[in-house]
Amino acid sequence: MDLLRTPDDRFEDLPGSLPAPRWVHVDDPDGGDPIRVATYAAGPEDAPAVLMLHGEPTWSFLYRHVIDAVAGAGLRAVAIDMVGFGRSDKPTRIADHSYARHVAWMTGAVDALGLRDAVLLGQDWGGLIGLRLVAAEPQRWAGVVAANTGLPTGDVDMPAVWWRFRQAVEKAEQLDVGRLVASGCARGLGAPERAAYDAPFPDESSKAGPRAMPLLVPTRPDDPENGPNRAAWEALGRYERPFLVAFGDSDPITAPMASVLRDHVPGAAGRDHPVIADAGHFLQEDAGDALGRVVAEFVASLPTHG
């Protein structure tokens, strides 16, 4: 597996603020070379932690306002760039990416960071991967915030708008990542922010990750990841630690999943699950401060887990 590494100067002069990256190395489950993964952290090191996982085709820049709000509340805010995204190493072939590999890579990153009793905040693929992490090690997590995400098994068809997105990614000769992110924002996206989402991808050879991820979403009952996802659903059906569903009000892709998660996970019962106003699929971009406050209040409400 050949890896690319985006030059550091691509990340200079970004709008807003993001903590300086810290690096961890994760093993490749298929025996390849170790992969360098970018992580970001703010807030007191001994405070309760929130792990933030992004999705397709973004990177941890998406969480900058959420990080500010969570750290500002006295908590530890931690974000990870998925392999193939942001400052993390980028496999050069679409075939290098698989759902199982991404789960293994993020498991390795969480292990390397030594995170325990953290709250997991996952959006888009950050939930598709993050919910698998929670299902595999439920006692590791103090709670979960699911934000515009789900855990598809291929038994129910994806929305038409998602199929249009997948087809646009497949057919694009030059993949415009900034434009894709802008299309998922209810409040629009300025030119500097679009450039920040383009920054990790200096050329088409670096975009195998964004091109691969739509192809990895289980869309058929015989998808190879249906078994692991069904098993994860079963585990989540026994998850009794606090579970919050915080979706935007303007996301046509994941909206149906909000009620499914609320009804299925025992830890979601009896909670006031907020709906973030004027927020599209990338609710962190549209309403990051609001989402950060929701997460901070959720963490403040948690019992202590030993």
Give me the active site residues, please: 124, 251, 281
Query: 240 exposed, middle or buried (CB, 10 Å; 0-12, 13-18, 19+)?
Result: exposed
According to DSSP, the β-strands at 243-245 and 90-91 are unpaired
For the CA atoms of 177, 53, 103, 139, what is the dihedral angle to 10 degrees?
A: -170
Q: Kindly state the tokens that stand for 296.
A: 């901070």
* Residue 107 three-state SS: helix
Alpha-carbon span 78 to 68, nearest angstrom: 11
According to DSSP, the β-strands at 35-42 and 76-80 are antiparallel
Give CA separation, 304 vs 141, 238, 273, in Å. Answer: 11, 19, 21
For the CA atoms of 9, 14, 17, 23, what is the dihedral angle to 10 degrees?
A: -30
Question: Which residues fall within 8 angstroms of residue 60, CB to CB, at 6 or more apart?
Answer: 18, 38, 40, 52, 54, 79, 80, 81, 86
Alpha-carbon span 109 to 190, nearest angstrom: 32
Residue whose entry in the numeric block shows the structure tokens 């961890």: 24
